[in-house]
Amino acid sequence: MKSVIFDMDGTLFQTDKILELSLEDTFTYLASLGKWGDSIPIDKFREIMGVPLPVVWETLLPNHSVKEREQVNDYFQDRLIENIKNGKGALYPNVQDIFEFLLKDGYTIFIASNGVPAYLKAIVDYYHLDDWVSETYSIEQIESFSKSDLVKTILTKYGIEEAAVVGDRISDIKAAKDNGLTAVGCSFDFAKEEELSQADVVINDLIELRRMQFT
């Protein structure tokens, strides 16, 4: 079996379109509780996109308790999902076209994301990604919270021998390298040049995957 494993945020889904809305909702809510008095840390959030959510909130809310961070995360996830269901997000250009191409060329398609299951389900359902994607995996399914381990789980379950990991951040590139796969870096919204430099191939549009051979 040959496969392509995609990241979700910043690779298939334009998280940027709902990110600021959802963060604004969340920090406005925190401020209403008297637990936030600064500006919304959107730039800091962009810098750490791609890390597991516990790390996100440790970074954005270093002076809050673990319980408060968990409550904030729950609220943030609710706002993200609501904005997805209201059609405020978008897939990147050519997602469906490249999915169709890969399936016709004999590839199976998977998603491996640091997002939580309910958030991923909202995207998959809204854009009917299950029409092409065999299975969507969340980092929360892995005790180690490691993207490398998450990808390994997919490879083992499906007996995959040839594959590429397509993503925009270092965790995606590392997941490919750690599992002996092709690392395709996406030069999209959250990508960093120093991270992309470690990929085997860098693309500016998903349609460029048409000309690649993942062996």
Work out the average pLDDT over 38-66: 87
Question: Which of these ranges, 3-7, 99-103, 158-162, 197-201, has the smallest mean pLDDT?
Answer: 158-162
Helix-helix angle 53-60:66-85, to 10 degrees:
110
CA distances from 39 to 26, 45, 154, 177 (A): 12, 12, 40, 38
User: Which of 85, 102, 134 is at the close of a domain?
Assistant: 85
**Predicted confidence band at 1 (pLDDT cuts at 50, 70, 90)?**
confident
36, 54, 85: which is the final residue of a domain? 85
pLDDT in tens, 98-148: 999 999 999 999 999 999 999 999 999 999 999 999 999 999 999 998 999
Phi-psi region of 34 (alpha: psi -120 to 50; beta: other; left: phi over 0): left
Gap between the Cα atoms of 181 and 164, Å rounded: 5
3-state secondary structure of 134: coil
Of residues 190 and 174, more confidence is placed in: 174
Angle at alpha carbon of residue 53, lines to 142 and 199, rounded to 5°: 75
Is the Cα dihedral 166, 148, 162, 113 positive or negative?
negative
| Residue that is last in its domain, among 44, 63, 85 | 85
Same domain assignment for residues 140 and 98: yes
Same domain for 166 and 79, yes or no, is: no
Residues 199 and 112 in one domain: yes
The whole domain housing 186 covers 2-14+90-211
Q: Please check whether residues 141 and 96 belong to one and the same domain.
A: yes
Buried b (16+ CB within 10 A) or exposed e, 131-153: ebbeebbbbbebeebbbbbbbbe
CB 23 within 8 A of CB 76: yes
Average pLDDT over residues 187-192: 89
Whether residue 107 is found in the same domain as residue 45:
no
Distance CA 10, CA 177 (A): 20
| Same domain? 105 vs 206 | yes
The CATH number covering residue 158 comes to 3.40.50.1000
For the chain, the domain total comes to: 2
Same domain for 45 and 8: no
Average pLDDT over residues 188-192: 88
- Whole-number pLDDT of residue 52: 73
CATH of the domain at 20: 1.10.150
- What CA–CA distance (Å, rounded) separates 185 from 195? 8
* pLDDT attached to residue 214: 59
- 17-35 residue pLDDT tens: 998 899 999 999 999 999 9
Residue 49 is predicted with a pLDDT of: 72
Pair 43, 121 in one domain: no
Q: Is 204 helix (H, G, I), strand (E, B) or coil?
A: coil
Dist CA 193 CA 185 (whole Å) = 10
Confidence at residue 18, expressed as pLDDT on a 0 to 100 scale:
93
| 154 and 169 housed in the same domain | yes
